[in-house]
């Protein structure tokens, strides 16, 4: 490296104060080069990792947002992420994190910083009751921390299992890719029998012996017959396997759905403004994705050698957080982000084509559990007239929702009712977390304040008051818009309705008996 560049790097080093004395670190490139409005938040996350005095000298390689530590060298995260020196925004797609697009995914760097802040290690149990696409689960696996998650959506559950509980051999995925290639070609030729592909119809594909994709609304507008045939064969091959091999194959297919079907997930609803994609080679797309996944697993294993946990350290319950029961006082720390209020169904719907195509494995789409989905837009009318415990427990909630509903239009009334229901659900979540946590257990709860008409709902304060009533002592809030510049986790409409986001910290202070 040129002398000038070395000097610049040396100047970028900062000193973090720790219990064990000052430590010099070189912040990650996106911290060094990032926009000034993020620097406070970044610095806070750097400092937080030492503020509990939990991070031991030998654990410095698990620091987050740090390129290298003096006398130690690069951190494991930096080796895995391998960011460009010119990066200005964090990229949360390192390792297996980027295996599937997911709206509402939080940055892996934040999760790692929080795990360090809490001092979680291989003797701790970390819980994410809204596991989503598995960011907390993946970070726990990489750092060898036992994890238990809960998630209601079957596609998300598949993501969590594949991304966090992968077997510790990358060769398995490479072999899976190769055997997929052979099976795919054999099935394709057996069906096409030398005919021109344009002569094949959708109906024929759906009647194909071995097809497991059920007919669904407008399927001929989503896929060309050739793309439908490719998807049908890929699903058939995936379903011929069990466990991880099955889910990895189906996940590889699902993650590339935007290159296969007529789907534009940047709008909430399925749109057919374009013609279905032509000349799509599903076989090649899936094989390439499986090979990429093999390389990602190999990178995780080598960058986190000696730390990474076993697949069995990751447990996931598929169901609602309000139905699953974890043992009392079994959890050390909670790191989670629930839906931020109404619109949960909208962002789950961005994967509609995957739900339809993989129905045979997933069993249902999010509409199947919409009554249990927190933040669902489809709540029962009766909820609107319910008593709403949250209004009594949280003064802020009571105040905000006090205005009478006379004169409001029905859309506003429905949104208001759904938001109130959401507050009640947050209270029920707080009660459960308080039961599951050990004494002095810690919670990091990431929540955003959404709009209701002209007003912004102070959900951060409401959740703080609700959780406090459950025996979770509020410690502090860090306010920030968790913007990752990562198109894999955002859709434009989110920007408009989520005003600001906070990381709320709590400690369990008393028993709930
Ligand atoms: C904001 S996302 C979490 C994203 C996650 N932090 C990540 O990085 O991928 C919220 C998740 O809560 C899930 N969810 C909604 N209602 C639920 C319920 N009743 N029980 C468990 N999970 C639920 C949704 O399916 C969604 O995946």
List per-residue pLDDT tens for the chain, 513 residues long: 556 666 777 778 988 877 778 889 999 998 988 888 788 888 899 999 987 766 666 788 999 999 999 989 999 999 999 999 888 888 889 999 999 988 888 899 999 999 999 999 999 999 999 999 999 999 999 999 999 999 999 999 999 999 999 999 999 999 999 999 999 999 999 999 989 988 999 999 999 999 999 998 888 888 999 999 999 999 999 999 999 999 999 999 999 998 898 766 554 455 555 678 888 999 999 999 999 999 999 999 999 999 999 999 999 999 999 999 999 999 999 999 999 877 766 767 778 889 999 999 999 887 788 888 898 877 665 555 667 899 999 999 999 998 776 777 888 888 888 899 999 999 999 999 999 999 999 999 999 898 888 888 999 999 999 999 999 999 999 987 666 555 555 545 455 556 688 999 999 997 544
What does the alpha-carbon distance between residue 31 and residue 429 come to, in Å, rounded to a whole number?
A: 34
Tell me the CA–centroid distance for residue 21 and ligand 1, in Å: 39
Nearest CA to ligand 1 atom 7: 105
CA–CA distance, 222 with 205 (Å, rounded to integer): 14
Residue 340 CA to ligand 1 center (angstroms) comes to 10
Other CB atoms closer than 10 Å to residue 407's CB: what's the count?
Answer: 7
Burial grade of 257 (CB within 10 A; 0-12, 13-18, 19 or more): buried
User: For residue 183, what are its two tokens?
Assistant: 């099976």
Quote the pLDDT of residue 513: 41
- At 104, give phi and psi (nearest 5°): 95, 5
Atom 3 of ligand 1: nearest residue by CA position: 132
Atom of ligand 1 nearest to the CA of 347: 26
**What does DSSP say about strands 455-456 and 437-452: parallel, antiparallel, or unpaired?**
antiparallel
Q: Which among 460, 427, 426 has a CA at the least distance from the CA of 446?
A: 460
126-128 vs 147-151, strand pairing mode: parallel
**C-beta of residue 163 within 8 angstroms of C-beta of residue 134:** yes
Q: Which atom of ligand 1 is nearest to the CA of 373?
A: 16
Q: Is 485 left (phi over 0), alpha (psi -120 to 50) or beta?
A: left
Could you identify the atom of ligand 1 that is nearest to the CA of residue 337? 6
| Shortest-distance atom of ligand 1 to CA 159 | 9
The size of the chain, in residues, is 513
Q: Which atom of ligand 1 is nearest to the CA of 338?
A: 10
Q: How many CA atoms does the CB half-sphere of 376 hold within 13 Å? A: 18
Separation of alpha carbons 369 and 365, rounded Å: 8
Nearest atom (ligand 1) to Cα of 102: 9
Closest Cα to atom 8 of ligand 1: 105
Residue entry with tokens 């990562």: 486
Ligand 1 probe mutation, 108, 140, 141, 339, most atoms within 8 A of CB: 339
User: What residue's CA is closest to ligand 1, atom 18?
Assistant: 320
By CB atoms closer than 10 A (0-12, 13-18, 19+), residue 175 is: middle
Quote the ligand 1 centre to 339 CA distance (angstroms): 6
262 CA from centroid of ligand 1 (Å): 26
pLDDT at 462: 98
Look at ligand 1, atom 20, and give the residue with the nearest C-alpha: 320
Q: How far is the CA of 132 from the centre of ligand 1 (A)?
A: 4
209 DSSP assignment: T
Nearest CA to ligand 1 atom 2: 132
Which of 90, 102, 104 maximizes ligand 1 atoms within 8 Å of its Cβ, making it the mutation to test the pocket?
A: 104
Q: What is the CA radius of gyration of the chain?
A: 24
* Cα 359 to ligand 1 centroid, rounded to whole Å: 20
| Joined tokens for residue 197 | 């592909």
Q: And the tokens for 6?
A: 């070395």
> For residues 100 and 133, is the Cβ–Cβ distance under 8 A?
yes
**133 C-alpha to center of ligand 1: Å?**
8
Give CA angle at 430 (370, 491), nearest 5°: 45
Helix ranges (DSSP H) in 101-218: 108-118, 135-143, 154-164, 170-192, 202-207
Instruction: Give the Cα separation of 401 and 321 in Å (integer).
Output: 25
Kindly report the CA angle at 23 between 19 and 27, in degrees rounded to 5?
125
Cα–chain-centroid distance for residue 200? 38
Give the pLDDT score at 267: 45
Strand ranges for 337-488 from DSSP E: 437-452, 455-456, 472-480
Q: Nearest C-alpha to atom 4 of ligand 1 is from which residue?
A: 132
Distance 338 CA to ligand 1 centre (A): 5
Q: What φ, ψ does residue 242 adopt, rounded to 5°?
A: -120, 165
Bridging pattern class, strands 66-69 and 455-456? unpaired
Helix, strand, coil percentages in the chain from 3-state DSSP, rounded to 5: 50, 15, 35
Q: Ligand 1 centre from 317 Cα, in Å? A: 12
**Among 374, 426, 463, 486, residue to substitute to test ligand 1 (most atoms within 8 Å of Cβ):** 374
User: Kind of pairing, strands 498-508 and 472-480?
Assistant: antiparallel
Ligand 1 site residues (CB inside 6 A) read 102, 104-106, 130, 132-133, 135, 150-153, 156, 320-322, 337-339, 344, 348, 372-374
The beta strands (E) that lie in 309-378 are given as: 314-318, 331-336
CA atoms of 480 and 37, how far apart (whole Å): 10
């Amino acid at each position: 490296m040129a002398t000038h560049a070395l000097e610049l790097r040396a100047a970028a080093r900062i000193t973090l104060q720790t219990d064990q004395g000052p430590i010099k670190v070189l912040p990650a490139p996106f911290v060094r080069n990032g926009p000034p409005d993020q620097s406070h938040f970044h610095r806070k996350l750097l400092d937080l990792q030492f503020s509990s005095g939990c991070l031991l000298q030998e654990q410095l390689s698990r620091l987050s947002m740090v390129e290298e530590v003096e006398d130690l060298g690069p951190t494991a995260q930096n080796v895995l992420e391998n960011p460009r020196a010119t990066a200005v925004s964090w990229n949360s797609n390192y390792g297996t994190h980027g295996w599937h697009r997911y709206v509402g995914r939080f940055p892996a760097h934040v999760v790692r910083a929080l795990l360090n802040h809490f001092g979680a290690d291989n003797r701790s149990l970390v819980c994410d009751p809204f596991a989503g696409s598995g960011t907390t689960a993946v970070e726990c696996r990489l750092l060898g921390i036992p994890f238990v998650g809960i998630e209601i959506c079957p596609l998300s559950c598949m993501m969590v299992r594949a991304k966090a509980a992968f077997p510790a051999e990358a060769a398995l995925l490479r072999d899976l890719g190769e055997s997929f290639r052979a099976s795919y070609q054999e099935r394709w030729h057996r069906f096409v029998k030398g005919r021109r592909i344009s002569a094949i119809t959708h109906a024929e594909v759906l009647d194909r012996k071995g097809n497991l994709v059920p007919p669904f609304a407008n399927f001929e507008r989503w896929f060309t017959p050739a793309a439908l045939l490719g998807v049908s064969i890929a699903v058939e091959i995936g379903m011929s396997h069990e466990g991880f091999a099955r889910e990895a194959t189906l996940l590889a297919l699902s993650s590339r759905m935007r290159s296969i079907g007529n789907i534009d997930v940047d709008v909430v609803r399925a749109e057919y403004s374009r013609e279905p994609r032509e000349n799509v080679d599903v076989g090649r797309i899936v094989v390439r994705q499986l090979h990429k996944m093999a390389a990602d697993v190999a990178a995780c294993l080598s960058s986190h050698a000696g730390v990474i946990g076993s697949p069995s350290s990751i447990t996931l319950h598929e169901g609602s957080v309000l139905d699953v029961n974890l043992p009392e006082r079994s959890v050390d720390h909670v790191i989670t982000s629930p839906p931020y209020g109404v619109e949960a169904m909208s962002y789950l719907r961005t994967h509609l084509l995957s739900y339809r195509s993989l129905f045979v494995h997933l069993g249902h789409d999010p509409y199947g559990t919409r009554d249990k989905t927190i933040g669902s837009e489809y709540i029962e009318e009766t909820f609107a007239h319910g008593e709403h415990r949250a209004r009594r427990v949280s003064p802020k909630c009571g105040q905000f929702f006090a205005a009478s509903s006379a004169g409001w239009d029905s859309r506003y009334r429905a949104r208001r009712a759904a938001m109130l229901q959401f507050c009640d659900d947050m209270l029920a979540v707080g009660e459960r977390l308080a039961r599951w946590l050990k004494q002095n257990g810690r919670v990091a709860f990431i929540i955003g304040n959404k709009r209701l008409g002209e007003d912004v709902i102070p959900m951060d304060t409401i959740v703080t008051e609700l959780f406090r009533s459950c025996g979770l002592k509020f410690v502090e809030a860090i306010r920030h818009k968790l913007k990752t510049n990562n198109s894999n986790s955002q859709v434009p409409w989110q920007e408009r309705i989520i005003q600001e986001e906070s990381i709320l910290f709590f400690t369990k202070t008393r028993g709930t008996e």
